[in-house]
Amino acid sequence: MTRKLLIVGAAFAALSLAACGQKTDETKGAATPAEQAATPDANPAATVPTLADEAKAPDFSAKAAAGDTFEIESAKIALKRSTNADVKKFAQAMIDAHTATSQGLKAAIAASGATFTLPAALPDDLQGKLDDLNKADAKDFDKTYADDQVDAHQAALNLFQRYAQDGDNAAIKTFAAETAPKIQEHLNMAEGLKNGMK
């Protein structure tokens, strides 16, 4: 009798453990209300985990500065090459806005006490996009510019939202959090520009 009780008890324990294991698996990955509140909702891609090299202030700042430089330089090209008044208006707005965010980034770095230098040159991928924009056929120029703007602002929004959540420097995190909504506005404008060309 004791042996039967031991076997039944062992089976019951095994089933209980299995049930507990399943329950744990079912809830794994579900965000708590606090985690959901901390996750930016402007863009679903912001829920993608931050890349290790984007959570460090020098790496985030280098990517943010490169994005600003790309926006300013591509807008200058658009002002010279486009004949579309909406494209020119958008391009001028990007020069003004990204000049301001460049200054904001430098101020945040100074306020943080960090001592690193922002790169002077664009990374190869963004320089390649600028080169392609310069070479774009006149009839395709506005579409190429608008497509680039949507892609660049989506990438910037992802970068800023993730750093605002996971960054390692309080002053620069604050800058990223305050700047992300402006980038969302620019993304909406770029999408409107792109959709207006269809």
148-178 confidence digits (pLDDT tens) = 999 999 999 999 999 999 999 999 999 999 9
- Reported pTM: 0.73
pLDDT beyond 90 at 15:
no
Q: What is the pLDDT of residue 55?
A: 85
Whether 23 has a pLDDT exceeding 90, the answer reads: no
* Percent above pLDDT 90 for the chain: 69
pLDDT at 54: 78
Of the two residues 117 and 7, the one the predictor is more confident about is: 117
| pLDDT of 52 | 54
pLDDT band at 45 (very low <50, low <70, confident <90, very high): very low
* pLDDT for the residue numbered 104: 97
- The mean pLDDT of the chain is 81
Q: What is the CATH number of domain 48-195?
A: 1.20.1260.10
> What integer pLDDT is reported at residue 53 of this predicted model?
65
**So what's the pLDDT on residue 158?**
96
**Which of the four pLDDT bands, split at 50, 70 and 90, describes residue 66?**
very high
pLDDT at 93: 97
| Cβ-based neighbours of 105, under 8 Å, separated by 6 or more | 61, 64, 65, 68, 118, 172, 175
Is the pLDDT score of 18 beyond 50? no
**What DSSP line would sit under 144-198, residue for residue?**
HHHHHHHHHHHHHHHHHHHHHHH-S-HHHHHHHHHHHHHHHHHHHHHHHHHHTT-
Q: Are 68 and 101 in contact (CB under 8 A)?
A: yes
